[in-house]
């Protein structure tokens, strides 16, 4: 049996960054994502969201890809919200996402960052946070 610990900080937003995740929806959404991920053998160590995006700290196993687990989490959670009419309009996640590898020594720091999203976004918009991640990790923006 291989021993694998690949930490990923995963971030994605609602479509058009619409503020669809209300304070009422948030606890049930996070609970649902966690429960569904356990069923799909996706290990979510920590997660939190604000009204327009979510952060997850995930550990991949030997048979998982970032794109597949992201697709599973996004697809199933949006389907669940819409099927249960939890918001008045259609819920969708944005297609793009950010996924960065995290060294084991940085796990607690990332957990704290994710835990403090509400406080963090009192000072900074998601766009500002997004731009910082793009710059910090050296992503090149591809315009379509």
Based on the structure, what is the number of domains in the chain?
A: 1
Question: Structure tokens of 80?
Answer: 């669940």
Residue 68 lies in a domain: yes
Q: What is the pLDDT of residues 1-17, one digit of tens each?
A: 788 889 999 999 999 99
How far is Cα 46 from Cα 56, in angstroms, rounded to an integer? Answer: 6
CATH number of the domain that residue 53 is part of: 3.30.70.1290
Token pair 């900074």 is found at 124
Residue 142 lies in a domain: no
By residue range, what is the domain housing residue 112?
6-136
How far is Cα 8 from Cα 58, in angstroms, rounded to an integer? Answer: 5
Token pair 């720091």 is found at 109
Local confidence band at 142 (pLDDT 50, 70, 90 cut-offs) = low
Question: Structure tokens of 113?
Answer: 């960052």
Q: What is the pLDDT of residues 69-96, one digit of tens each?
A: 999 999 999 999 999 999 999 999 999 9
Smallest CA-to-CA distance from 136 within 108, 102, 90, 96 is with: 102
């Amino acid at each position: 049996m291989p021993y694998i610990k690949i930490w990923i900080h995963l971030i994605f937003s609602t479509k058009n960054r619409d503020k669809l995740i209300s304070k009422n929806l948030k606890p049930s959404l996070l609970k649902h994502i966690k429960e569904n991920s356990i069923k799909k053998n996706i290990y979510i160590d920590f997660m939190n969201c604000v009204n327009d995006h979510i952060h997850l700290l995930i550990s991949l196993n030997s048979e998982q890809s970032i794109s597949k687990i992201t697709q599973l989490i996004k697809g199933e959670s949006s389907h669940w919200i819409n099927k249960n009419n939890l918001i008045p309009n259609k819920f969708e996640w944005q297609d793009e996402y950010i996924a960065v590898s995290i060294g084991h020594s940085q796990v607690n720091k990332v957990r704290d960052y994710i835990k403090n999203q509400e406080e963090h976004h009192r000072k900074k918009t998601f766009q500002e946070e997004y731009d910082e991640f793009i710059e910090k990790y050296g992503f090149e923006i591809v315009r379509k």
